[in-house]
């Protein structure tokens, strides 16, 4: 009896060891990202699908930081870890707007913050049709996102719709209170509008991808335009209001308090899909200068501890399966040809590829936003 | 000798029992305060001593607007809350009507509703596309109130309305307690010798309850000067209450300026704390006589 018991216990112990051993085999890959709630939902779905693969070599975990609650500190944390010479952190993989990667590099003080990826380890890379404007050997785009003008086609007849910035200026003047953009520090739709308004006056195209403070001097024309726009924007209680967050302007469009807003295409599509915005909601860009968008990329920090796992996760996300999740979960614009994706929803985003790419690093936070805050907010 | 020793022992026991609370207070209250005060005098880059953060706070046109805005919103909230609460407390104390009984059992209810829930409920009702607006849309088109937009959110009006919702019950509770301490017999005897209602109020009720009114006022002031949730959710982006401004500076990583804003809020609260302590001491003196 005793013998049987001890045998059974020994067997159990052995089983446990095997069990632990096989659990140990799977290394974790930690993916860091920030954004609105929809980004978290997307990454939760991606990680779940990745981990559910029968042959998954790694376990993906997500570290998500909601925008406006300390996302500024993600770049600082990574920069701090980099500058103090740490090498074995869990910053295995970072996902952010390609335009934002300049901020990470600026803060860390070196492009060596990210390692070049190994094309051999990311099968499917050939399918990716988008090339990042900065650090093309280090960043792998996995979706595109863009700010658009959104309106209800039932409320604005096609012949009244403004198609250039000048027409937009006239339209806003003719329809006071029917246009709004959100406080640009609280959401990307507002900052995209402000940036597009400023940079359309700067003729030198290279300004759009430069963090040189000299360009700030050329922002005056854009700010003047924004100042003139101010009195005719959405107002409540007799005062012009810049709503907080992308959701703030979306709510105004949903409640029919305004007719046109700059908004993220994916947020419009999601709201149309769940019925909060009517089916007649349309999106478009102005012909002379579209609003800004960005490809959203993966970068592998050199201070991470699992570059192989990071590249494996990237190859999953850019695979047709991963792209389908991005498209259906977030209405994201895919980075691979839509012919490769099997989904009913791919037509939704087929027209959205036309956007302006502006990547100016810390120029926004250090110079342009403070000007907006001092000159326009108190008007 | 023996007596002294045991007294010393007692003291030791008392200190020993207070020590944990004291250590916690030192660690999570006193230390951060000292730290914040020091930080508010530091230069962002070098950490050297500087007055720049305060100079900025009091000379920058934006932050000056925020300070004035905070002061007048808080004072207006305090005055309105106290006047309304006093009237309500008087009514509850001296009215025998059924309505008074119902109100006295209901008036504390807002205190039990979480701030977030209450603010969102308020938004749904007084928002420009809220309940009031939806009801006005039922009116015939063209009538003066059709599509009526209250315009109460995202400016001081909304903040003050929400503040009153939270503070009136609280202030009423404190003032009611004071009024219930005034015995009906002295009011009746004053009335018997011919004193009018106003005279009774100004000569008896007000003097007997004024110290509690002051205490209620200081509490209302303190909780509103540093308020965050309400102005964050239904306040404008400019000007903003100092609590929201503090958060904005903090999230833009201007920690030194944020520290200076904290110290300023702390000073405002201290003023009302001084009023509170002074009122309490005066009461003690009065008891001595």
In a domain, A12, yes or no: no
**What is the 3-class SS of A252-273, one letter each residue?**
HHHCCCCCEEEEEHHHHHHHHH
Distance (Å) from the alpha carbon of B49 to chain A's nearest alpha carbon? 23
In this prediction, residue A223 carries a pLDDT of 96
In whole angstroms, what is the distance from residue A376 CA to residue A29 CA?
Answer: 44
Q: What is the DSSP letter of A114?
A: E
How close B152 gets to chain A, by Cα (Å)?
A: 6
Record: contact A238-B238, CB cut-off 8 A: no
Q: Do A378 and B65 touch (CB under 8 A)?
A: yes
What would the pLDDT profile of A157-192 be if each residue is shown by its tens digit?
Answer: 989 999 999 999 999 999 999 999 999 988 889 999
Q: Are residues A278 and A152 in the same domain?
A: yes
Å between B262 CA and nearest CA of chain A: 19
Q: Tell whether A377 lies on the interface with B, counting CB pairs under 8 A.
A: yes
Hey, what's the torsion of the CAs at B8, B14, B19, B24, to 10 degrees?
-150
Q: Indicate the number of domains in chain A.
A: 2
ipTM above 0.95, yes or no: no
Residues A117 and A237 in one domain: no
Distance from CA of B244 to the nearest CA of A (A): 12
Contact B52, B40 (CB under 8 A): no
Which of B62, B65, B154 comes nearest A241 by C-beta?
Answer: B154
* Residue keyed to tokens 């609590």: B243
Contact with chain B for residue A157, Cβ under 8 A: no
> Which neighbouring-strand residues pair with A297?
A96, A141
Q: Are A237 and B152 in contact (CB under 8 A)?
A: yes
Closest to B123 (Cα-Cα) out of A227, A247, A46: A247
User: Is A40 part of the contact surface with chain B (CB cutoff 8 Å)?
Assistant: no
Structure tokens that stand for A194 in this block: 């402000």
C-alpha A17 chain-centroid distance: 43
Domains and CATH numbers, chain B: 68-288 (1.10.3720.10)
Among A145, A50, A147, A201, smallest CA distance to A335 is for: A145
Whether A11 maps to a domain, the answer reads no
The phi, psi pair for A185, rounded to 5°, reads -80, -10
What phi and psi, each to the nearest 5 degrees, are found at residue B241?
-70, 155
pLDDT of residue A21: 46
Q: Which residues contact A88 (CB under 8 A, 6 or more apart)?
A: A303, A305
Q: Looking at the complex, report in whole angstroms how far the Cα of residue B8 sits from the nearest Cα belonging to chain A.
A: 52
Query: Are residues A239 and A335 both part of a single domain?
Result: no
Tell me whether residue A200 is in a domain.
yes
In the structure encoding, which two tokens stand for residue A121, read together? 């380890």
Residue in A72, A238, A242 nearest the CB of B237: A242
Instruction: Give yes or no: residues A80 and A219 share one domain.
Output: no
CB contact under 8 Å between A239 and B153, yes or no, is: no
**Min Cα separation B199/chain A (Å):** 42
Instruction: Supply the range of the domain harboring residue A125.
Output: 23-144+294-349
CB contact under 8 A, A244 and B253: no
Q: Considering only CB atoms, which chain A residues are within 8 Å of B152?
A: 237
Distance CA B171, CA A161 (A): 54
Contact B251 A70 (CB under 8 A): yes
Tell me: do A233 and A162 sit in the same domain. Answer: yes
Whether residue A274 is found in the same domain as residue A327: no
Residue in A68, A236, A244 nearest the CB of B237:
A244
Q: How many CA atoms lie within 13 Å of A362's alpha carbon, on the beta-carbon side? A: 12
Look at residue A10 and tell me if it is in a domain. Answer: no
Helix/strand/coil for A17: helix
Is A7 a domain residue? no
Helices B206-225 + B255-288 axis angle, to 10: 170
Instruction: Indicate if A159 and A287 belong to the same structural domain.
Output: yes
- Across the interface, whether the CB atoms of A237 and B61 are under 8 A apart is answered no
Q: A182 with A240, same domain?
A: yes
- Number of inter-chain CB pairs under 8 A, A vs B: 49
Indicate whether A151 and A135 sit together in one domain.
no
Asked if the Cβ–Cβ distance from B251 to A255 is below 8 Å, we say: no
Best of A230, A236, A368 to mutate (most B CBs within 10 Å, chain B):
A236
Q: Are residues A138 and A29 in the same domain?
A: yes
Chain B contact probe: residue of A65, A71, A190, A237 with most B CBs at under 10 A: A237
Is A6 part of a structural domain of the chain?
no
Q: Within a domain: residue A210?
A: yes
Based on the fold, state whether residues A71 and A90 are members of the same structural domain. Answer: yes
Q: What is the pLDDT along chain A (379 residues), one digit of tens a residue?
A: 566 666 666 666 555 555 444 445 689 999 999 887 889 999 999 999 999 999 888 999 999 987 666 556 788 889 999 999 888 899 999 999 888 888 899 888 888 999 999 999 999 899 998 888 889 999 999 998 899 999 999 999 989 999 999 999 999 999 999 999 999 988 889 999 999 999 999 988 889 888 889 999 999 999 999 999 999 999 988 889 999 889 899 999 998 999 999 999 989 988 998 899 999 999 999 988 999 988 899 999 999 999 999 999 999 999 999 999 999 988 888 898 888 888 888 777 877 777 888 888 788 888 999 999 999 988 8
**A15 falls within a domain:** no
Do A140 and A170 have their domain in common?
Answer: no
CATH of the domain at A326: 3.40.190.10
Tokens, residue B63: 């932050």
What was the pLDDT predicted at B286? Answer: 56
Tens-level pLDDT at each residue, chain B (289 residues):
556 778 888 889 998 999 999 899 888 988 999 999 999 999 988 889 999 999 999 999 999 999 999 999 999 999 999 999 999 999 999 888 999 999 998 998 888 999 999 999 999 999 888 899 999 999 988 888 888 888 898 889 999 999 999 999 999 999 999 999 888 888 888 888 888 888 888 888 888 899 899 999 999 999 999 999 999 989 888 899 999 999 988 877 789 999 999 999 999 999 888 988 888 887 666 555 4
């Amino acid at each position: 009896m005793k013998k049987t018991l001890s045998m059974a216990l020994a067997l159990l112990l052995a089983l446990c060891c095997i069990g632990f051993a096989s659990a140990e085999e799977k290394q974790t890959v930690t993916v860091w990202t920030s954004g609105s709630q929809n980004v978290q939902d997307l990454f939760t779905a991606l990680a779940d699908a990745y981990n559910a693969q029968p042959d998954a070599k790694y376990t993906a975990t997500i570290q998500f930081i909601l925008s406006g609650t300390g996302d500024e500190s993600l770049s600082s944390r990574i920069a701090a870890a980099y500058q103090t010479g740490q090498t074995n952190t869990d910053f295995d993989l970072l996902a952010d707007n390609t335009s934002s990667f300049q901020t990470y590099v600026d803060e860390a003080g070196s492009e060596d913050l990210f390692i070049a990826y190994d094309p051999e380890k990311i099968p499917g890379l050939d399918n990716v049709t988008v090339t990042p404007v900065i650090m093309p050997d280090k960043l792998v785009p996995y979706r595109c996102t863009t700010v658009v003008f959104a309106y209800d086609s039932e409320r604005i007849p096609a012949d009244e719709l403004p198609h250039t910035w000048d027409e937009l200026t006239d339209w806003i003047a003719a329809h006071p209170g029917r246009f709004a953009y959100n406080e640009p520090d609280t959401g990307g739709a507002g900052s995209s509008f402000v940036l597009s308004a400023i940079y359309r006056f700067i003729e030198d195209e290279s300004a759009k991808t430069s963090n040189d403070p000299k360009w700030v001097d050329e922002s005056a024309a854009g700010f003047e335009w924004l100042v003139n726009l101010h009195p005719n924007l959405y107002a409540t209680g007799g005062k012009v209001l810049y709503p907080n967050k992308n959701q703030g302007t979306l709510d105004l469009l949903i409640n029919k308090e305004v007719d046109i807003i700059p908004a993220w295409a994916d947020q419009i599509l999601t709201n149309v899909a769940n019925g909060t915005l009517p089916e007649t909601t349309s999106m478009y860009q102005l012909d002379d200068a579209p609003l800004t968008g960005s490809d959203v990329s993966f970068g592998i920090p050199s201070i991470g501890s699992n570059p192989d796992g990071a590249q494996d996760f990237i190859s999953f996300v850019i695979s047709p399966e991963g792209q389908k999740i991005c498209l259906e979960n977030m209405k994201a614009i895919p980075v691979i040809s839509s012919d490769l994706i099997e989904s009913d929803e791919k037509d939704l985003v087929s027209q959205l590829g036309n956007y302006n790419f502006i990547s100016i690093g810390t120029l926004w936070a250090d110079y342009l936003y403070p000007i907006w805050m001092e000159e326009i907010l108190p008007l | 000798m023996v007596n002294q020793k045991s007294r010393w022992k007692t003291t030791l026991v008392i200190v020993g029992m207070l020590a944990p609370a004291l250590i916690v207070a030192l660690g999570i209250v006193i230390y951060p305060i000292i730290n914040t005060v020091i930080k508010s005098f530091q230069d962002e880059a070098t950490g050297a001593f500087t007055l720049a953060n305060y100079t900025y706070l009091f000379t920058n046109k934006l932050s000056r607007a925020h300070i004035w805005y905070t002061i007048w919103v808080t004072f207006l909230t305090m005055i309105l809350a106290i006047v309304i609460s006093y009237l309500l407390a008087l009514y509850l104390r001296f009215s025998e009507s059924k309505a008074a009984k119902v109100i006295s059992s209901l008036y504390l209810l807002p205190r039990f509703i979480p701030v977030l829930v209450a603010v969102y409920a308020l938004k749904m009702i007084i928002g420009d596309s809220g309940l009031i607006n939806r009801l006005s849309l039922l009116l015939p088109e063209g009538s003066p109130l059709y599509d009526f937009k209250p315009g109460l959110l995202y400016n001081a009006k909304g903040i003050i309305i929400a503040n009153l919702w939270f503070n009136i019950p609280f202030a009423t509770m404190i003032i009611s307690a004071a009024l219930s301490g005034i015995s009906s017999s002295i009011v009746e005897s004053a009335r018997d010798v011919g004193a009018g209602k106003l005279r009774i109020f100004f000569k008896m009720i007000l003097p007997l309850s004024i110290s509690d009114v002051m205490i209620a006022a200081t509490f209302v002031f303190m909780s509103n000067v540093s308020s965050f949730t309400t102005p964050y959710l239904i306040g404008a982006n400019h000007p903003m209450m100092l609590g929201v401004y503090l958060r904005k500076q903090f999230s833009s990583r201007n920690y030194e300026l944020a520290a200076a804003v904290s110290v300023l809020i702390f000073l405002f609260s201290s003023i009302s704390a001084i009023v509170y302590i002074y009122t309490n001491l005066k009461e003690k003196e009065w008891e001595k006589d």
